[in-house]
Amino acid sequence: MGRCRFVPPYLLARVAPESLVVDQALRAGRSVPVAARTVVPAAPGPAWTVHTADHTTTLPGRAVRAAGSPASGDAAVDEAAVGITGALALFAEVYGRASYDGAGAPVSLTVHYGQDYDNAFWDGSQLVFGDGDGRVFGRFTQPVDVLGHELTHAVTEHTAGLVYRDQPGALNESVSDVFAACLKQRLLGQTPAEADWLVGAGIFVAGIRARALRDMAAPGTAYDDPVLGRDPQVGHLDDFVSTSDDNGGVHLNSGIPNRAFQLAAVAIGGTTWEGAGRVWYDALTGGSVGPSSDFAAFAGATVAAAGTHADAVGAAWETVGVTPGASAAPASGPQVAAVRRVSVRRTGGFAGLRTGGELDLDSDDPRASEVASLVERVDLRAVPSEAPQPDRYVYDFDLCGDCATVAEQHLTPDLRRLAELVLDR
């Protein structure tokens, strides 16, 4: 599954287009590509190690703190340490799972990634966290559920392997929110009725009109701000968003299974992690959910795993418009129209934000000459194709009718510069 971002592309596109340049550098300019890095064997060593990238994009960076060592005094490092300790304990003590792979793999984390980087992600090898831009986003290590969300992407990768597109991708996102909520509530000692059901509360700086990034109990209500816009997440299958953005709207449509889980957790009672969380974990790992499972298939798996709570779980899914085990064809929604001239759109990321730009090469825009030169050099057919990866950015290029979707790790220097120019505002 590989790289999974926390901030949705549609949100980053709106509030932090400058992070695009950072993201491009993160993938295209990384000194040691993820695929080329040496994997450290799992044999004896700490359960987790937190590194700092010192505001570069080199991974994993400099080791600062490992399991069993005292606080470092660096807020991001110590927040990551608390989060990973709690997340590993959740999976081990509640679900009997040894680390994300079930075999005790040590976890590598990196903080202080990039300059003003507005995201967090699982890249297939480690967890990575930016410090935010200080204008909209703060540290991504501050809300503990961000870490729980990203670690769960690794768990999903090693279990059901839900592909990161369309309904399976929305389920992938939702499962990460589910166990992020379990982690947060377990650390706070909350019941489902006491919990706020917010994901990413505290991730925005003061002055932003937002309670969190997502609201599992009431999708679409987490924020309404002049900078952010209004939370576009949906919470019922009737409102399913059909789009080519954000890998088929994975951060938008994840609100549907998110709400089903919240309803199930309240109906089952007890604690979320032992109640509905146990049901969802058993469904994820039980063998009946696979890479292409849609909402209905996953719902059916949760009902089958729910035992005496099957009726409550089934009712939760029916409330959001999903019939467990039945065909769940999404309602038709707006399609993204092709844009003429030269255009670039960036989607994805943990926040699901999107940003786009368009440039007329025949205009008197001062960027036009350089963009035209880049378009002449770029061969989109030579760019590798890769399956979407959770919480990472995806770029859609339309170069005078020559179109391609490019994963951020495959941005060439020319494509990186092209995106920088066209998305400049």
Q: Tell me whether residue 150 is one of the annotated catalytic residues.
A: yes
Are the beta carbons of 224 and 231 closer than 8 angstroms?
yes
Q: At what angle do helices 255-268 and 295-305 cross, to 10 degrees?
A: 20
**In Å, what is the CA distance from 205 to each residue of 23, 112, 223, 233?**
21, 17, 13, 21
Exactly one of 51, 112, 149, 251 is catalytic; name it. Answer: 251
C-alpha 140/C-alpha 26 separation (Å) is 16
Closest CA to 126 of 306, 289, 4: 4
C-alpha 413/C-alpha 379 separation (Å) is 12
DSSP 67-98: TTPPP-S-HHHHHHHHHHHHHHHIIIIIT---
Are the beta carbons of 153 and 171 closer than 8 angstroms?
no
Helix (H, G, I), strand (E, B) or coil at 197: coil
Q: What are phi and psi of 114, to 5 degrees?
A: 70, -175
C-alpha 49/C-alpha 85 separation (Å) is 11
Exactly one of 150, 157, 173, 408 is catalytic; name it. Answer: 150
48-52 and 107-111 strand pairing: parallel
**In Å, what is the CA distance from 148 to each residue of 91, 121, 173, 425?**
10, 11, 12, 34
C-alpha 325/C-alpha 279 separation (Å) is 16
Closest CA to 336 of 347, 326, 327, 325: 347
C-alpha 291/C-alpha 159 separation (Å) is 9
Specify which residues 229 forms β-bridges with: 225
Secondary structure element (H or E) that encloses residue 358, with its range: strand 355-359
Taking the C-alpha atoms of 264, 268, 272 and 277 in order, what is their torsion angle to the nearest 10 degrees? -70
Q: Tell me whether residue 251 is one of the annotated catalytic residues.
A: yes
As to burial, measured by CB atoms within 10 angstroms (0-12 exposed, 13-18 middle, 19+ buried), residue 324 is buried
Closest CA to 184 of 98, 299, 265, 129: 265
Active site (catalytic) residues: 150, 251
